[in-house]
Amino acid sequence: MMAMEESAVVATSLRNITAGITGHAAGNDAQALTVTAVQAAIHACVVPVTQTEWVPLSEALGRVLAGDILSPIDLPGHDNSAMDGWALRSADLRADTDTQLTQVGTALAGHPYAGPVGPGECVRIMTGAMLPAGTDSVVMQEIVRADGMRIVIARGEHAGRNVRHRGESLLRGAVALPAGTLLRPSGIGLAASLGIQTVMVRRRLRVAFFSTGDELRMPGEVLRPGDIYDSNRQTVGAMLERLGCDAIDLGAIGDDPARLEAAFRQAAASADVVITTGGVSAGDHDFTRPLMEKLGEVLFWKIAIRPGRPMAFGRITADQKAACLFALPGNPVAVMVTFYQFVRSALLAMMGQTPAAPLALSLPLQHALRKKPGRTEFLRGIVESRDGLSSVRSTGSQGSAMLSSMCDANCFIVLRHEQGDVQQGDLVEVMLFEGLI
Ligand code: AMP
Ligand code: MG
């Protein structure tokens, strides 16, 4: 199958798939879907890209393994010392009196001691050096009195074994890293320790994105009354780059049906995923909705979330190439919140990463917060740690256009759907930016 023909979004009707999942928010916003229902609906519609490629390990950071990496060797490959000290035969250790041994040689990392070690003998050994034949234990140098080639281990000293055994970290043939692993520095290092030079990974996800709005200007352009600089496109590009996607920037498109249609077509033809910002709020519906629907199957969702209420999701096709579409709201904070709550994990799934629930902490709130049940709120928060105790507070004003609140924050404070007002000292759910963003 050719790269361009493959789609990361399922081909059957999205409406059918999502119909069984979607849950509506109760109360006075009966039209709105809950955050969890939307997350489930999106996940039901996306599939991983199937194409793979071999890349050098040195270029594999952030890539997703397409197959298990099996260990080609035992790790470690030989019994070796975990300490600097002397290797000895543990049967020589005396319980009733001091143990005296004769040093017959030296073993260094990379320079094994070749000879045999007999009763009453020992070998000076350094960390990582192969354990000489006949020895089974290492005494750390701190508990040894050495006098030339004679060493003494005081009676009653617990000698310990201090040996790392062959294969104790991985046996040959065992799964070192499973398919679906996102390679982090530790995974790169583990693969390197097995002598692996190239790894098979899924191909990168191609994500085309553009912003919409007649008011958008580029840096360097003069702002006319009512204009603003286009920030969303830079934010989206940066978030995609962080995730290791091939990000294709299609620019800022004015509110013009012909140009928007051309942009959607170009995006669908060139990418697995299309992300747009703006143009999905109620006022814009009449104009963007028929446009998107003309190109495929697009669901317009009102979500019980703050910030980020409207969002469209679907599959659009151009030149017989289908792409998954996320049409995000226009407000800059809403863009980031909807990206991290709905888009990110879908992209990771399409990249082939084994899904992992985001790490959520519970921390006491430094002040009371007002909250209406019936929607999920993502407040920008600051986790502070003092004397080993952490607590969280809001960054203050939470306007969905205030990107500075995202800059000041180091977490989202997540007030779940059913949650009402929160009192000072109450535990609240916290999603740390570190690891997410
Ligand atoms: P919309 O959803 O298109 O009505 O946009 C909602 C708000 O977000 C408006 O105030 C827009 O000016 C603003 N907005 C839309 N797109 C961008 C963008 N690319 N950068 C910054 N602000 C934007
Ligand atoms: Mg707009």
- Give the DSSP letter string of 12-38: S-HHHHHHTT--B--GGGTTSBPHHHH
Q: Which atom of ligand 1 is nearest to the CA of 329?
A: 2
Q: Is the pLDDT of residue 20 over 80?
A: no
pLDDT of residue 356: 86
pLDDT of residue 397: 92
**CATH number for the domain including 255?**
3.40.980.10
Residues β-bridged to residue 376: 305
Across the range 376-400, mean pLDDT stands at 96
Pair (250, 116) in one structural domain: no
Q: How far is the CA of 76 from the centre of ligand 2 (A)?
A: 59
Supply the residue whose CA is at minimum distance from atom 16 of ligand 1: 330
Q: How far is the CA of 399 from the centre of ligand 1 (A)?
A: 13
pTM, two decimals, is: 0.92
pLDDT of residue 5: 53
Q: Is the pLDDT of residue 140 over 70?
A: yes
Which structural domain range is residue 125 located in?
A: 80-164
Tokens (6 digits) for 361: 């902490």
Supply the residue whose CA is at minimum distance from atom 3 of ligand 1: 278
**CATH number for the domain including 131?**
2.170.190.11
pLDDT band at 222 (very low <50, low <70, confident <90, very high): very high
Across the range 402-423, mean pLDDT stands at 97
pLDDT of residue 159: 61
Q: How far is the CA of 331 from the centre of ligand 2 (A)?
A: 9
Residue 171 belongs to some domain of the structure: no
Distance CA 45, CA 12 (A): 9
Supply the residue whose CA is at minimum distance from atom 17 of ligand 1: 330
Domain end residue (candidates: 329, 350, 371) = 350
CB half-sphere exposure, 409, CA atoms < 13 A? 28
Residue 75 belongs to some domain of the structure: no
Q: Is the pLDDT of residue 126 over 90?
A: yes
Across the range 35-46, mean pLDDT stands at 94
180 lines ligand 1 (CB under 6 A): no
**CATH number for the domain including 394?**
2.40.340.10
Domain end residue (candidates: 164, 187, 213) = 164
**CATH number for the domain including 198?**
3.90.105.10
228 lines ligand 1 (CB under 6 A): yes
pLDDT of residue 3: 44
Distance CA 241, CA 81 (A): 43
Pair (290, 317) in one structural domain: yes
Distance CA 274, CA 248 (A): 9
pLDDT of residue 391: 98
Supply the residue whose CA is at minimum distance from atom 11 of ligand 1: 330
pLDDT of residue 27: 58
pLDDT of residue 268: 97
Pair (417, 285) in one structural domain: no
Pair (185, 114) in one structural domain: no
- Give the DSSP letter string of 241-305: HHHT-EEEEEEEE-S-HHHHHHHHHHHHHH-SEEEEESS-SGGGHHHHHHHHHHHEEEEEEEBSE
The residue type of 395 is T
Phi, psi of 357 (to 5 degrees): -65, 135
